A = this chain, B = another copy of it.
Amino acid sequence: MERQDKYEKITELAKRRGYFWPSYEIYGGTAGFINFGPLGAVMKHKLQDKWRDYFIRRQGMLEIETPIFAPKVVFDASGHIVHFREPMAQCSKCRAMFRADHLLVERGGVPSSEAERLSLDELGTRLREMSILCPECGGEFTQPTSFQTMFKTTIGPYSEAVGYGRPEAAQGMFTDFKRLYEVERGKLPMGAAQVGKAVRNEISPRQGPIRLREFTIMEFEFFFDPAEPHCPKLSQVKRDELRLVLETNRLNGREEPTVVTVQQAVEQRFIKAEWMAYFLALAQAFVRELGVPAERQRFIEKLPWERAHYAAQSFDQEVLLERWGWVEVSGHAYRTDYDLRRHMEFSGQDMTVFRAFAQPRSVKRLRIRPVAQKLGPAFKQDAPAVINALEQSDAQAVKASLDEKGFYELSLGRVYADQVEVLEEQLEEAGERFIPHVVEPSFGAERLVYVTMEYAVKEREDRLITALPLDIAPIEAVVLPLVSRDGLPERAESLYKTLLDAGLCVEYDDAGSIGRRYVRADEMGVPLAATVDYETLANNTVTLRDRDSWEQVRSPVNGLGDVIRRYCDGRASFADLGVPMKRNG
């Protein structure tokens, strides 16, 4: 058998132990979908809850939940109907379809940032020039077309009621902005977050858990006043070092990271919004807590043609993987006021908020007062409409036209200087209205599950240890009777029930030798194994074994639930859990 790479080892372990596997296997599988088994589902859930705790609860953000399906108008407004597309090449012979730019990258060695920039025509030309043929049958490709990568459906029985599965959760936050702003009683900045499913109808996804058609997005939209862009929390992270692969370098063909502190990145304007810099630092720290050292992370600034249509600047947080190279785990976009402005245009609803001036400002304002006595005889039955039109019109424009031409043209006819008065009024204004700006960090839960697995799985004495971070390990402890006689199973079962009642995720395992059970627990990623043995009967203590070091301590059964909880929460070290014993693999 060939030597397996880490990806293969992990996907095999994942199947064997119940972390994840491809969906619909009994029907031959469907690319781009993944199932989480009993360990994976709980780990993913814990990872999501850790994210919630990190980015929502501790940051004082608002979590909301909005539907996956939305009517078309939402994505007309968001720009996704027009922009959320990928170039697709079809084989003229076998009709198989592929991402045209991926063909150039994978089969022609074209750098992906270059391939992404090409138009459909250019992609077709390059495919022909480079003689790239169908990987399935060797046929030639037809001219690439643009494929809308959203799942389309109809909502209800009317065929015209087109709807889509959301490709991001963001639009839920934008369409709800005004209600959230009200619930929060008009506070800015304000962050609104979601953890939920999103779907992208990828043309031909591969890479298992890395590129999915259905995935869990964890993202928030952080709304702030662009006139007050200062992030008061920045000082908490200002000394953190970030590895930035900057646009200016990338445009010159250089992909090495610029290592700067958060403070330098802001001062040197590498990052355009202070809040974005703060969130990059949080994202790096979060992924570090999942087990990926900062040196294996980088933030790559997207080039103009790589950026989403709504972004003024964006960074992808990438993690280095053995098989796949640098892989995105979160995206950070400065969306400015793009989305709220578009929804304002498409819905006709006001999305502006009020900004009070420090002191009321005295402003001069022109106002047009129609002179009814003159307009009546001139326009007769049209006079009311003319008066109305004048009241609606831009006073500045009316004055300019009168000054220049002596009249102002309406669709109903010309209005002359004697038919209107131009008044200059002095007003006190307490503030002004504006559309908030938005910075968006967006994480993919499935990728983070895979990344965490890849960094957690270690080889030791020819077997695999899944050394997951303690706070996201799906099972916190396993209870093992040393042997299946002399009352040990009864004692172990009773301990198991006690730990269950204490709220822990625990398992009971009495199958096979104690050594084999340790092997199984290590692979499953269980941080602690509690073995009930003859000494337990004598003095009510158990052996606790550490998954990572294989060290053992002796710990009292009384209060064990609390001890395990404190260990998995990071409030106690393994040495704190009991009296050390000699090592025993």
Contacts and interface: CB of A to CB of B under 8 A. Distances in A.
Give the interface size class of chain A. 35 or more
B179 A15 contact: yes
Given A97-B158, A153-B152, A37 B64 contact: yes
B153 A30 contact: no
B67 A33 contact: yes
Interface string A304-335: 00000000000000000000000000000000
A156 B202 contact: yes
Interface in A491-505: 500, 503, 505
Contacts of A457: none
Given A37-B183, A69-B213, A26 B347 contact: yes
A217 interface: no
Contacts of A126: none
A34 B202 CA distance: 27
Contact of A31 (B35, B156, B178): B156
Contacts of A41: 63-65
Contacts of A151: 69, 153-155
Interface string A46-65: 00000001000110001111
A67 B154 CA distance: 19
Nearest to A202: B156
A214 interface: yes
A260 interface: no
Nearest to A496: B60
Contacts of A36: 64-66
A521 to B, nearest CB: 14
B67 A23 contact: yes
Interface in A194-211: 196-197, 199, 201-204
A73 interface: yes
B153 A38 contact: no
Given A41-B64, A183-B17, A500-B58, A71 B24 contact: yes
A456 interface: no
A343 interface: yes
A36 B196 CA distance: 12
A147 interface: yes
A63 B38 contact: yes
Contacts of A66: 23, 35-36
Contact of A180 (B34, B38, B64, B153): B38
A500 B57 contact: yes
A71 B213 CA distance: 13
Of the candidates A66, A147, A349, A511, the one having the most CB atoms from chain B within 10 angstroms of its own CB is A66
A175 B26 contact: yes
A234 interface: no
Contact of A68 (B197, B204, B349): B197
A18 interface: yes
B27 A156 contact: no
Interface in A153-190: 153-158, 163, 165, 172, 175-176, 178-180, 183-185
Contacts of A346: 27
Contact of A38 (B15, B23, B31, B62): B62
A27 B172 CA distance: 12
A265 interface: no
A124 interface: no
Contact of A71 (B18, B30, B185, B214): B30
Closest 7 CB pairs of A and B: A38-B62, A18-B183, A36-B65, A26-B347, A41-B65, A26-B349, A97-B157
Interface of A: 15-18, 21, 23-27, 30-38, 40-42, 44-45, 53, 57-58, 62-71, 73-74, 88, 97, 147, 151-158, 163, 165, 172, 175-176, 178-180, 183-185, 192, 196-197, 199, 201-204, 213-214, 343, 346-347, 349, 500, 503, 505, 511
7 contacts: A30-B70, A30-B71, A35-B65, A36-B66, A45-B63, A151-B155, A156-B213
